[in-house]
Amino acid sequence: MSFVTGIARQLYRTYSVSIRAWDTCIGRTKLKVFGRARVGDDVRISGQICVKVSPGGKLLIGNKVRFVSGFRFNPVGHDSKNALFVGPEGTLDIHESAGLSSTTIVARKSVVIGEGTFIGGGARIYDNDFHSLDPAIRVHGKDDQVGIRPVTIGRECFIGGYAIILKGVTIGDRSIVGAGSVVSRSIPPDQIWAGNPAVFVRDLFPDKASAS
């Protein structure tokens, strides 16, 4: 590596670290001001984050949680930012060391992201249907009879890019969801599921599964 290349690399590294420090500073402020969030230690934010927590809603961010968005930090899902929305009776609880890339989460009741779970770029997690299924209410009435059921994602799971997790789903610890999947049913621990609708692909630890 030439002297000039070395200097250029060092400058770029310093630039990237400064950007991340700036994003983290702005992001933490948004989480605290717009989200009234309890934010743990060493939470890092790269790229932008959108936060809205209605009065009465709760946003909890554990230690060492990572938020990433933007092409520089993760090209997958770079066209959207991390966006966290919590309704007036909702709780969004993101546990320690979880990592979210350009992920949208809407919690009207409860969404839990377990410790060490990674969520791929562009993923969407909704604990509700947003609109009534009855067209008379949806179009002409007060559109507030919306299906709402909590979503719980266990610890050390891996949710593929652009997956959608729908209301009422529980994903067991360490389980994996394929890229672009639509998950409408709960997934046991230690399994890989994929597709639309997501179906069982295989056990993560076949020896353990056949022994039990």
Ligand X SMILES: CC(C)(COP(=O)(O)OP(=O)(O)OC[C@H]1O[C@@H](n2cnc3c(N)ncnc32)[C@H](O)[C@@H]1OP(=O)(O)O)[C@@H](O)C(=O)NCCC(=O)NCCS
Binding site for ligand X (CB under 6 A): 74, 76, 101, 120-121, 160-161, 176, 178-181, 192, 194-195, 201
Chain-centre distance of CA 30, in angstroms?
A: 17
Beta bridge partners, 37, equal none
Least separation in angstroms between residue 148's CB and ligand X is 27
- Residue number of the CB atom closest to ligand X: 178
Least separation in angstroms between residue 155's CB and ligand X is 18
The phi, psi pair for 209, rounded to 5°, reads -65, -40
Output 141 or 206, the one with its CB closest to ligand X. 206
Output 39 or 105, the one with its CB closest to ligand X. 105
Indicate if 140 belongs to the active site: no
The single residue of 78, 95, 131, 140 carrying the catalytic annotation is 131
Chain-centre distance of CA 207, in angstroms?
A: 30
Number of residues that this document lists for the chain: 212
Q: What is the largest CA-CA distance in the chain?
A: 71
Output 47 or 120, the one with its CB closest to ligand X. 120
Least separation in angstroms between residue 65's CB and ligand X is 16
Beta bridge partners, 83, equal 50, 104
Cβ(125)–Cβ(86) below 8 Å: no
Residues classed as catalytic: 131
